[in-house]
Amino acid sequence: MRRGRMIFAQLMDWLPKYEFDTCVRRYGGNRRVRRLTCYDQFLILAFAQLTFRESLRDIETCLQALGTKVYHCGIRAKTARSALADANEKRDWRIFADFAHVLIERAIRLYGDEDFGIELKEMAYALDSTTIDLCLSLFPWAKFRRRKAAIKLHTLLALRGNFPTAVIVTTGKIHDVNILDQLQFAPGAFYIMDRGYLDFGRLHRIHRSGAFFVTRAKKNSRFHRRYSHPIRKREGVRFDQTVTLTGFYSHQGYPDTLRRIGFLDSATGKKLVFLTNNFTVPALTIAQLYKCRWSVELFFKWIKQHLRIKAFYGTSENAVKTQIWIAIAVYVLVAIIRKELQLSHSPYSILQILSVTLFEKAPKQQAFSRISTIPEDTSNVNQLHFQGLLTGQ
């Protein structure tokens, strides 16, 4: 008879249990709870993410089929879909949001020196949002348009490691630029965003905090050129200028000088104009930083394909946010395990391996050492490129 612990239980050992209990006590999550504790709820929904379960009935059936293996995985409560539905409905989603941020802070420390293809010592983040469409009759609290419901995931993605450092879930009506009011900006860090976040008053707040931003200029923006800096046209840089805003309201919002960089993308032939408040980094590096913003778009595509965040186990706002935050926690946990075990596999490969080995009794390293490389689907160029970004290759 083989002895040992289930791989699922070994993976959950990476979770800081004390910090999780602190989050639970902060919001009274286990108050008047007899059976299904917050930790059991987290483990069950983590199991659902790792094994791609589609519904509460699906979760209940699979866990019942595992029999005594469930207990040895660390899940002590009997899983009934009604109890899990009530927990998702009533347990404060902020428990799991705060715990996800605990894991994110750990990932930041692990990936602080990760190379993302640009010679830059400072941390760099990409900011964007994605919309998840919902049924208005089932999710009336997420009203988006007259006959449509939706939620938005506003995500700040660390380019070193490609994991989210901040996620804000709102209804589809909230405009992207409003999220800048809810973020804290680290001095010296770079924040890359598209033209949807071009609000000069809010950008000036980033400037006052000591952080740097990189965005694109709109065609109707008006500037007064003060200086022109030397450029290297062979690198694609068309101009590098120090400018001030001449519009009445834009100048009131951002009274300081800006750096305006023109760049010709040789691959597409497009002429792009960037705005930043950093005057020391080379102009080509600013253009490369903005190109890295595509990582957040690929991150959204990846989590929609490989995590359960498009079909929800409950219809209330609390249940939806609970599921999203546990999915993010699982994603960051995979990133932590990949770094701690020094795995060369992509997160996609790790999830696929775990989905079929969770209930084996073997050392967790053994599950990944059986296959040195896993063939990837080369039919999707963007997907292949994304996996390269995640693995740092």
Q: What are phi and psi of 212, to 5 degrees?
A: -115, 145
**Residue 87, domain member (yes or no):** yes
Specify the pLDDT at position 239.
92
> Residues 347, 268: one domain?
no
> Residues 270, 343: one domain?
no
> Residues 28, 86: one domain?
yes
**Residue 222, domain member (yes or no):** yes
Tally of domains in the chain? 2
**Residue 143, domain member (yes or no):** no
Q: Choose the final residue of a domain: 234, 254, 284.
A: 284
> Residues 279, 348: one domain?
no
From residue 215, alpha-carbon distances to 165, 177, 275 in Å are 19, 12, 5
The 10s digit of each residue's pLDDT in 203-214 is 999 999 999 999
Q: How sure is the predictor about 3, in pLDDT bands with cuts at 50, 70 and 90?
A: low
Secondary structure string (H, E, C) spanning the chain: CCCCCEHHHHHHCCCCHHHHHHHHHHHCCCCCCCCCCHHHHHHHHHHHHHCCCCCHHHHHHHHHHHCCHHHHCCCCCCCCHHHHHHHHHHCCCHHHHHHHHHHHHHHHHHCCCCCCCCCCCCCEEEEEEEEEEECCCCCHHHEEECCEEEEEEEEEEECCCCEEEEEEEEECCCCHHHHHHHCCCCCCCEEECCHHHCCHHHHHHHHHCCCEEEEECCCCCCEEEEEECCCCHHHCEEEEEEEEECCHHHHHHCCCCEEEEEEECCCCCCEEEEEECCCCCCHHHHHHHHHCCHHHHHHHHHHHHHCCCCCCCCCCHHHHHHHHHHHHHHHHHHHHHHHHCCCCCCHHHHHHHHHHHCCCECCHHHHHHCCCCCCCCCCCHHHHHHHHHHHCC
Q: Choose the final residue of a domain: 284, 309, 340.
A: 284
Better pLDDT: 258 or 108: 258
Q: Choose the final residue of a domain: 230, 257, 284.
A: 284
Average pLDDT of the chain to the nearest whole number? 86
**Residue 273, domain member (yes or no):** yes
> Residue 263: which domain range?
209-284
**Residue 54, domain member (yes or no):** yes
Dihedral sign of CA atoms 322, 328, 329, 330 in order: positive
Mean local confidence (pLDDT), 267-271: 86
> Residues 270, 344: one domain?
no
Mean local confidence (pLDDT), 360-378: 62
Q: How sure is the predictor about 115, in pLDDT bands with cuts at 50, 70 and 90?
A: confident
Number of C-beta neighbours around residue 310 at 10 A:
11
The 10s digit of each residue's pLDDT in 145-173 is 888 999 999 999 999 888 898 899 999 99
Specify the pLDDT at position 117.
78
Specify the pLDDT at position 266.
82
Specify the pLDDT at position 377.
46
The 10s digit of each residue's pLDDT in 173-198 is 999 999 999 999 999 999 999 999 99
Better pLDDT: 235 or 256: 256
Q: How sure is the predictor about 370, in pLDDT bands with cuts at 50, 70 and 90?
A: low
**Residue 127, domain member (yes or no):** no
**Residue 338, domain member (yes or no):** yes
Residue 222, pLDDT above cutoff 70: yes
Specify the pLDDT at position 141.
93
Dihedral sign of CA atoms 378, 384, 385, 388 in order: negative
Residue 64, pLDDT above cutoff 90: no
**Residue 35, domain member (yes or no):** yes
